[in-house]
Amino acid sequence: MRLAITVVWLLLGATSAVAQDLDPRAYAKVPVGFTIATAGVSVSRGGVLVDPSLPVENAHADVWTPSVGIAQSFALFGRTAQTLVALPYSWAHVTGDVAEQVQQVNRSGLSDMRFRFSVLLTGAPAMTPQQLASSPRKPIVGASLTAAAPTGQYYPNRLINLGTNRWAFKPEVALSYPIAQRWLVDVYAALWLFGANGSFYAGTARRTQEPMGALQAHVSYSLSVKAWIAFDATWYAGGQTAVDGVPSGLHESNSRVGATLVFPVGSRHAIKIAGSAGAIIRSGADFDSVSVGSETFWKKQRPVKP
């Protein structure tokens, strides 16, 4: 059991309650049959360069988002797979200029729920904790599909909403490459695909968005058997919007940098602290974000036969 706990501790952080842009060790190999429950809160503050289709300028938002999630690892055709469901709730205070007048608004309610399915295609066959502990470190190729459901609070006749009132999907491929005994390099490539919002402001317009490409890179270092730190970066581009077929003419091309720290609290719990900031912002959200979360894992015990 001590061996099993040690192995899982090395992998904590491979799931995230908040499906954030910067997610190191998302494709680390994990033992099958484990459940990981997550809970946390993120705080984001900063200027928001809004879509020009909205009559809002100089927008600034303070957003608090607690969330809960649960993940399950399992074997799929001999490979390691994982599912994750995350449900966020947000409080937001937003200020901005509407028709050259300063306005402010408060919102609180559910944000869009996230679902994620991932599978490690090579380098990580389905294993028990004992088998994983003795297995050599190998490069891993993985893939995932993330879906954002339109479950968040949305008012068609209001400009500022917590939900997007549309589906969004993100297929992603990844390479996780171990270096020496303590270093790990992750590289992800993804494409966000957006559905249409048929009830855009003021409730009768149809808003669409072109696909958006995204790249992530992470370098992480194991501080000990149960703790690690990562340095993160992401770049995303595309995503031009259109309202009733009229394009906004604005494409995003932004980058963010951040860091993540995971350390143990007891034998089956961990604390995860992460922060990120905009590096180069041309359009979209220019904000700083800090999050703190906890993770607890357990393995379902098989009933003992009489």
256 neighbors 278 (Cβ within 8 angstroms) = yes
Q: What is the mean pLDDT of residues 238-251?
A: 83
State the average pLDDT over residues 106-129. Answer: 91
Please classify residue 269 by burial: count the beta carbons closer than 10 Å to its beta carbon, then call 0-12 exposed, 13-18 middle and 19+ buried: middle
Query: How far is it, in rounded angstroms, from Cα 170 to Cα 255?
Result: 18
CA-to-CA distance for 17 and 210, rounded, in angstroms?
27
Predicted local distance difference test score (pLDDT) of residue 301: 59
pLDDT band, very low/low/confident/very high, at 56 (cuts 50, 70, 90): low
Cβ–Cβ under 8 Å, residues 291 and 20: yes
Strand, helix or coil for residue 52: coil
pLDDT of residue 11: 39
pLDDT at 66: 92
Q: Identify whether 306 is part of a domain.
A: no
Distance CA 243, CA 173 (A): 31
Query: What CA–CA distance (Å, rounded) separates 159 from 200?
Result: 9
Q: Is residue 305 part of a domain?
A: no
Tokens read off for 124: 């990580």
Please confirm whether the linkage preceding 75 is cis (ω < 30° from 0).
Answer: no
Tell me the residue range of the domain where 20 lies.
Answer: 2-299
Least confident piece of the model among 13-22, 228-237, 292-301: 13-22
Q: Are 96 and 60 in contact (CB under 8 A)?
A: yes
> In whole numbers, what is the pLDDT of the chain averaged over residues?
82
Q: What is the pLDDT of residues 262-283, one digit of tens each?
A: 999 887 889 999 998 876 655 5
Please write the tens of the pLDDT for every residue from 202-223: 778 898 999 999 999 999 999 9
User: At 234, which CATH number?
Assistant: 2.40.128.130
Residue 299 has a pLDDT of 79
Q: Which candidate, 64, 54, 172, places its Cα nearest to that of 111?
A: 64
Q: Can you give the pTM of this predicted structure?
A: 0.85
Domains in the chain, number: 1
